[in-house]
Structure 1
């Protein structure tokens, strides 16, 4: 349980922002404190150097006369400044019994040194004497008071930095809490959405500019979901209607048949009618399963080079016989090749031809035109019949959609899945189907790339 809470805290955007704000404040304050402390130490160093330089100028002016020690040695012994007189690396005179570091004595290039002797901290500077190339004067000073001050000041800086970081963290928490209110507001809006309230939209102007694009995307997503739910509801209604009608017909016919004894011929006619309804029902269910599989890439597919002319000639012969009662003829022109699944493409083109035969006027010709444009092969199925209203064209490929809203079950009527299956097959082959209907001429154009690998 504790691990889950820890993960929630770690995944919390507010917690991350607060921690980041606190860390950034701490780093800035630590950097500032370090700079201040460094500058303070450097200031004391420069101050000591300036003080001792001024004293050396006095000594240098005297040019270290022979009686210098006798005249001025007592002055240094009584003062705070310590003096060492160095000649060729050896101490000729010192005002106090304080040992200099050995490395400082031996290295004339080193100009200053800090060291500790007998719990006292010293700082010394080396000054070369004019006209005396082998003689150096080292002046030193007690810097215990510097050390005490810097130690105390460092402690104050540490506590101040820590306290200021905590205050910054608290302010950061308040700022983040206030800044996250629009996100909480958005969450409350989204929680109101359900399958019954998909029409709920959020006003982007109510949110900061950083969240407005997210709100717009959410509204677009809700619009798509609303459309899909409406389609799903209509689809369910369509399925129920398509399955209920043949079953109701069979039930009614059977109940009428059982009201009193019938002749053998009447029973045979009833069975033939029932068989037709069962065939229609089986075809509808088969088409639904095929469409579902094609949309989810569950169909077994094959890739091969296909010559369209022979394939469509066989289909034309079959559907010309199917439209013989209406006196429909089918004319084929052009040629082309595609690379894809032969049976799937045959079914797609067959569905377009079946639709053309069904909706063609009597004694009219259906024209099928094959053409190749650049890297695309097109098959146009054109028939003369009733014009499809422009407002219906965007929905013509939806499942169970019929322009005839009466949805009458006639012998020539289909289930409304043929065009949906045809477009699904076109999509599998990275193509599409477009429809146009003007002045009684309706054309469906299947476009498929010549070289394509079926999904």
Structure 2
């Protein structure tokens, strides 16, 4: 079976050529002879009209046009009203040296009338005398089985002249058979040439298609990273190459999306496992403390001790609640359970509202809050996340402040970003802890915090995660008296 475009194109083109040439050959064979003899009838009518325009008695042997028609195989027999031969085309005993019609006419002219009548007598009787009823002044032609002939009467100077013209079909048909054979050879030759041309043309067309196929295979092997050249010889192939490139771009996009989705799901699953492990690990210690303290409550009789143990249980419970809330917030943020929806926000207003939530905390710890806000501090942020980050900075500043100290909160309008600063008065952060403070569950030294307050160890890790989601910057700098933490969020473009 033919399975390639090239082979099918060669076959179809060859068949098409054979069909066209075959039809032409059939038409030629069926209509050529009819056309040929119809043409001869027209030539005879044309010759008859020319004879009417000459003086037959005087000029018949001196005219040149008869020779022209005789070269076209038309033969003439002309007699007067007494059936004397005026002119006849010599057809018997023709010399082997193939003299032309002019020589033949001269020889006839030298023959006597008696010789002419004797020589052509039988033909005159058979073609004119016995068929006078077919002659009239209107020249008529007839296409018979053996010959095509024409008959007519020309009247000049009171005399009648019978004109008979004919051509035998035997010789014409033999000639036509040669034409048929020749045409058959032409058909065979044209078919061979057409077959070769079909192979060349099909190869020229199929070669770029084959090249596109090979390029497509290479693109698949390379992970759809290679594009197919659109500089093709044919417009249709250019369109095909463009379509394949578009398809591969979509495949690459789908691959990227699938890789991202797989990576996200893997990350989410790892976060889930990490969340479960961290919760279970971090809950062990406070739960153990609470369990021991509850057991001790049953044994204690001192009311002050019982009260102290109850306060400790409440503190541990609050710490556990804070830790769980922070971890749930981190998990939901990093697992895309809550999409980072951003809106244009006034950062000064957001920070100021956040500070108001901590007024009681500042008063309870006898810490004075100082606020500074620039104007036109707008950026696209997720207000919930950024509020959480600022809250963590503020609560962290309070925990690590000195009693009766100061906390400074600033929002600064920079050229390309909005900077949020939270500064306290307290101990510096050791340089060897500069990076570790941003890690999950890092708590530092409880003795350095105000009133020994404990944290979940997730506050700064939350800040880092939130700022990274906003493509911002975070950090801190140790001052002569305290630490200044900052966040930089890119301005709205």
Q: TM-score, normalised by structure 2?
A: 0.44
Larger radius of gyration: 2
